[in-house]
Amino acid sequence: MTLKDRLPPLNESTWTLEQRKEAEKIISGPRGELIAPFQVLLRNPQLMNCTQQLGEYLRYSSIIGHRLTELTILITARYWHQTVEWQIHAPIAIEKGISSKDVEAINFNQ
């Protein structure tokens, strides 16, 4: 059973005003869409907002830059066996300059 099976995304037509407000912040920000884990966190808009702000800072504003941020995300995803994070960030890491050979060397599906 996956998290999506246990906590499927909420239907947008059922969102409260607070949920809509927090979702729109994410959708209009650098992420551009409401993706995991924010679909689940939408059940608690205040927690989602705090989590989103921390993640947005670390991913988009960190002093180490986008290339090293994506490398760090991949290493962390590998360590914690987080396949969703891996699937999201492996192509982004390549786009940001990490070689596909290095991405495959880190890959936990081997």
Statement to judge: residues 50 and 73 lie in one domain: no
Residue 97's φ and ψ, nearest 5 degrees, are 115, 5
Q: Please state the domain count of the chain.
A: 2
pTM higher than 0.95 for the full model? no
Q: What angle do CA 13, 18, 19 make, to 5 degrees?
A: 50
What range defines the domain where residue 100 resides?
Answer: 65-106
Q: Angle of helix 65-80 relative to helix 83-95, nearest 10 degrees?
A: 150
User: Does 36 share its domain with 78?
Assistant: no
Residues 12 and 53 in one domain: yes
Domain boundary among 29, 46, 61: 61
| pLDDT tens per residue across span 27-86 | 999 999 998 889 999 999 999 999 999 999 999 999 999 999 999 999 999 999 999 889
Same domain, 84 and 56: no
pLDDT in tens, 35-47: 888 999 999 999 9
